[in-house]
Amino acid sequence: MGTPRILQREVGVGGLMAQPGPVVAAGTGPVRAYLDHAATTPMHPLAVEAMLPYLAGVFGNPSGGHLESRRARRAVDDARQHVATSFGADLGDVVFTSGGTESDNLAVVGGWEARVGRALPGHRPPALVCAAMEHHAVLATCRALARRTGAELREIGTGEDGLIDLDALADACTPDVGLVSVMAVNNEIGTVQPLDAVSAVVRAGAPDALLHTDAVQAVPWLETAPLTARADLVSISAHKFGGPKGVGALVVAPGVGVRPLFHGGGQERERRSGTHNVPGIVALSAALAVAESSRPATVARVSALRDRLGDGILGSVPGTVETGGREHRVAGSLHLRFTGVEAEALVILLDRAGLSVSAGAACSSGAVEVSHVLTSMGLPADEAAGGIRMSLGATTSDDEVDLALAVVPGAVGQLRD
């Protein structure tokens, strides 16, 4: 076998160089297509370039007072200012974290605990409300918090279109609610939730509640500032938009209290102690800049690729159903259900054919369970078991879509036979 190589075509997008692909040809082996950008994205070269000086030369701890520390702190402050500007927030509103999971936990637990003091003596603690299709970083956190504290958790289902049931949300949002969490974009089927309507419902029925939105999947596709305007707490993660893994942020609205999950040196205005991940924070900012400048062109190009992929598979594979309407989904998301096929087996077969996709969200073991997202939409377990997520991104190429169109029909047919 020869040395793997990356085949890339450079095109100008928004004044920056984006690189559709990668399509990887491993020696004489098959060409691969990566359609799992919702799990993680390739790091953008400018993000890599931005972080390199802080992996070696500029090594200081930002919490110190000497020259090396001041250089590192200046880099963190510049990145913080950029994130704040992008989300229409103030400089002090940005809390850097280790990623989306920590941001979600800090928002749900820290935000809810900051509301506990408002509960009347002798009454139950404030209730929690979340969408039943939330990422497990929110859903599991809400459930654990409810078990630990005795707070009531109200999980809200969705319709067949993947949008939250606003009537059920209105019923759940009573004055005793302390926190509501509704994600901006679903990680599995890509639906964009109507945050304007969600915010109106929450403010009317639960005026003392904090509204959190997991915006981890939103940054590549949606303008970010409106998200902050609607929510009190907004979570993001760098590796979903061309940055490194292990760094994210929570944007906190002015005047909103968040109790820390752990204690230490008091960094991030005592909301998140711990030495700053300076290289990661700098790279997050650089990746965010690329995503912002290239977003309009990326959305237009990827939408066309997604539609060609979806229409091609629906037209060539009988018994295929698309989950949710495209008008409610971000450009990079395509979720299909194949009658009579187990998703996990199809993922393995497609991987052998050179196509990387997923069945539901990524988890630590690589195993796949029946999707809670699909069951929250009212789909029976046997139908949900055949769901495949194909998620495109800024680097997706025509060649990758062509490969997917070539191998999916045969793989589905093989499993059905």
d(CA 262, CA 105): 11
Largest CA distance in the chain: 71
To which H or E segment does residue 178 belong?
Answer: strand 177-181
Going along 223-332, which residue ranges are E strands?
Answer: 233-237, 248-252, 320-322
8 Å CB contact between 412 and 341? yes
User: Is 130 one of the annotated active-site residues of the chain?
Assistant: no
Helices (H) and strands (E) in the chain, counts: 14, 16
d(CA 408, CA 417): 14
C-beta pairs of 138-143 under 8 Å, 24+ apart in sequence: 138/104, 138/108, 138/181, 138/183, 138/212, 138/214, 139/372, 141/104, 141/105, 141/108, 141/109, 142/108, 142/181
Taken as a whole, the chain contains a residue count of 417
Which residue among the candidates 130, 142, 173, 363 is catalytic per the annotation?
A: 363
Between the CA atoms of 299, 301, 304 and 305, what dihedral angle is there, to the nearest 10 degrees?
A: -110
Active-site residue set = 363
